[in-house]
Amino acid sequence: MPFLNRRFTLSTLLASLLGAVVAVPAHAQEGAPAKIIVGFPAGGSFDAIARLVAEKAKTELNRPVVVDNKTGAGGRIAVDALKASPADGSVVMLGPDALTALYPFTFKKLSYDPKKDLVPIGTVAEFAFGFAVGTNPKANTWADYVAWAKSNPKEANYGIPALGAPHHFYGMVLGDAMGVPMQNVPFQGSAPINLALMGGQISSSIDVASSQVENHKAGKIKILAVTTEQRIPQAPDVPTFTELGFPSVSGSGFNALYAPAGTPAAAVANWNRVLVKIMAMPDVKEKITAMGFMPVGKPTQELIDRQNAAIKKWEPVIKASGFTAD
C-alpha cells in the first residue's frame, strides 16, 4: 500500500469519523453511550485512532460510543477524568505508554497510581521512533553519523519535542551505545525540529518516525534508523537499530485502552474482545498504518507484559539520568 500523506490522512479520516461517532444510527442507541477519553486534542493521531475505534465499537457494543478529549499534561489530565468515571465498563481511556512506563519515574508527584488506577484492557497500536539527520552533517548511514560524532563530540546533539518523553531517553541510550554522549535540544513539537534539521541548527533528531517520513521521502532529511524490531512499512528503506548492531536502542512506543479501577473483569474482557476484533479489520489496519502506526489488538496479558518490559527498560535509564519534573 503506498504511503499516504500524513496530514491528508488525518484530516480526511477525522472528517468522516467526527460525524460517524456523533451521529449514531437508531439501532445502536439501545444502550447508554459509552465513552473513550483521550488526553490529546482533536485533530491529532491519538484522537483519530480513538474515533476510529469508537466508530467500530458502537456496532460491537450495540450502543453509541463518543470520544471525550481531556487534553493536557501528556495524558495525565485524562487519567484524572478516568478516575472520576463510573467503573461499570461504560468509560475507557486511550493513553500513551508514558503513563505507566515513564511518568512514575520522571515526576516527583503523580495524581494517580498506575498499578491501581489504570486497569489494562489491551494495546491498540505501536509506533517507531526514528533517528534522522539533516544538512549538517550530511550522513548517509548510521555509521557515517557515528564517525562524525566521534570526531565532533561537542556538536553531537539531538532535537526532541519535549523533555522527559521517550525521545529524550532514547537519545541517552543511543549516546551510551555509540560511546558519544549527546546533548538533547528540546523543541515545541515536531515541525520546528524538522526545520532545525533542514537548516543545520542541530545535527540529528529523535522523534516519532511518522513525523519524519514525509520529509525523508522528499529528501529534506534522512532517517538513518528506527527503533522497532522490524522495518516500518512507511519507510522500508530504513534499517532498524537491531540490524545495525545496536539492540539496546530497540523498542517501540504504544497506546492502549484502560478502564478505571473497580471495573468488573467481565466488562474489561468484553472491551478487549471488541478491541481485538476491531484491530483485525482490514480497513482499520489500512487507516492506522497510513497514520504511521502499527495495529496490535491482542489479549490483555500482552499489554501487561508490554508495560512490564517498558518499565524494566526505562526505570534504570531515567534514574541514572537524574531527570525529574514537577
Cross-strand partners of 35 = 66, 91
H or E segment at 132?
strand 129-133
Q: Is residue 235 in a domain?
A: yes
Same domain, yes or no: 123 and 261:
yes
pTM assigned to the model: 0.85
Q: Is residue 1 in a domain?
A: no
CA dist., res. 142 & res. 226, Å (int): 11
Residue 34 exposed, middle or buried by CB count within 10 Å (0-12, 13-18, 19+)? buried
> Tell me, what's the pLDDT at 287?
95
Same domain, yes or no: 14 and 113:
yes
All residue ranges of the chain with pLDDT < 50 are 1-29
Q: Tens digit of pLDDT for each residue in 75-124? A: 999 999 999 999 999 999 999 999 999 999 999 999 999 999 999 999 99
**Would you say 35 and 4 are in contact if contact means Cβ atoms under 8 Å apart?**
no
Helix boundaries (H) for 23-129: 45-61, 76-83, 98-101, 103-106, 114-117
Boundary residue ending a domain (249, 268, 288): 249
Q: Is residue 179 in a domain?
A: yes
Same domain, yes or no: 237 and 271:
no
> Tell me, what's the pLDDT at 310?
96
Boundary residue ending a domain (232, 249, 266): 249
> Tell me, what's the pLDDT at 30?
55
Number of domains in the chain: 2
Q: Tens digit of pLDDT for each residue in 26-45? A: 333 457 899 999 999 888 88
CATH number at residue 156: 3.40.190.10
> Tell me, what's the pLDDT at 244?
96
CATH number at residue 285: 3.40.190.150
Same domain, yes or no: 267 and 122:
yes
Boundary residue ending a domain (219, 249, 279): 249
